[in-house]
Amino acid sequence: KNEVEQSPQNLTAQEGEFITINCSYSVGISALHWLQQHPGGGIVSLFMLSSGKKKHGRLIATINIQEKHSSLHITASHPRDSAVYICAVPNYGGSQGNLIFGKGTKLSVKP
Amino acid sequence: DVKVTQSSRYLVKRTGEKVFLECVQDMDHENMFWYRQDPGLGLRLIYFSYDVKMKEKGDIPEGYSVSREKKERFSLILESASTNQTSMYLCASSLRDRATIGGYTFGSGTRLTVV
């Protein structure tokens, strides 16, 4: 079973700061998900990536398959980026389509 | 706009009550999942279903059961609610294909409080 570790668990930043959230996993995967959960509960998918880097606005996700590590970066952070960020990988020992989730990084961006 | 709909955002129930949490998806997804989310523990899988009338236990099935009579609907049942089942419950659905985790969609969550 894949193990997923995220760091840090909590992160407080000032508006405008560059933010990095890290995710490591133990078993080789085909792709990794970054998810965002705002207060109130709903989860949305930010990225799915299997190699290299993806960029969407101020969000950048990178993955190193050999090192089993991914990072989520936020440039020029803003209070509206405050949320819980979760990485997820396929659970190859489980059902088809099932994911294993990191415990999440709670980000708070202060104005 | 495709989506996963959970019937309630907030629920308060009494200890011992039978509780039904409903989840409906309109994407014709084969897989459906129920998770609970607790501070410091992240998302934990309760049950999943990969087809109508099929179900499999996840990591924490004790105290829960599920029903999937139609492809679009997956219900989570707390047979006799207890205070340790106070949590955020999230439903999700996905395509069957194991090779990709695209098409994985979550509901908005139900925050259940058992008093």
**Residue B23, Cα to own-chain centre: how many angstroms?**
7
- Within chain B, strands assigned E span 4-6, 10-13, 19-25, 31-38, 42-49, 56-57, 64-70, 73-78, 87-94, 105-106, 110-114
Chain B residues within 8 A of A90 when measuring between CB atoms = 98, 101
For residue A104, list chain B residues with Cβ-Cβ distance below 8 A. 42
Q: Is the pLDDT of residue B101 over 60?
A: no
pLDDT of residue A94: 56
pLDDT in the model for residue A50: 87
- In this predicted model, what pLDDT tens digit does every residue of A54-107 receive, in sequence order? 999 999 999 998 999 999 999 999 999 999 999 998 876 555 557 889 999 999
Higher pLDDT: A92 or B6? It is B6
Q: Do B102 and A48 touch (CB under 8 A)?
A: yes
What is the chain B residue with the closest CA to A101? Answer: B43
A94-111 per-position pLDDT tens digit? 555 578 899 999 999 999
Query: What is the per-residue pLDDT for B95?
Result: 80
Coil, strand or helix: which one is B29? coil
CA distances from A34 to A85, B50, B57 (A): 7, 23, 25
Q: Is the pLDDT of residue B78 over 90?
A: yes
Asked if the Cβ–Cβ distance from A98 to B48 is below 8 Å, we say yes
Which residue in chain A has the smallest CA separation from B54? A95
Q: What average pLDDT score do residues A6-31 get?
A: 93
pLDDT score recorded for residue A95: 54
Closest by Cα among B101, B115, B111 to B36: B111
CB contact under 8 A, B106 and A102: no
Chain B: nearest CA to A37, how far in angstroms? 10
Asked if the Cβ–Cβ distance from B31 to A102 is below 8 Å, we say: no
pLDDT at B51 over 50: yes
Q: Give the mean pLDDT of B84-103.
A: 79
* B81-108 mean pLDDT: 82
> What is the predicted pLDDT for the residue at B99?
43
Of A45, A94, A104, the CB nearest to B104: A45
- Judge: B97–A97 Cβ closer than 8 Å, yes or no: yes
Among A49-53, B58-62, B84-88, the range with the most confident prediction by mean pLDDT is B84-88
Taking residues A35-52, what's their average pLDDT?
87
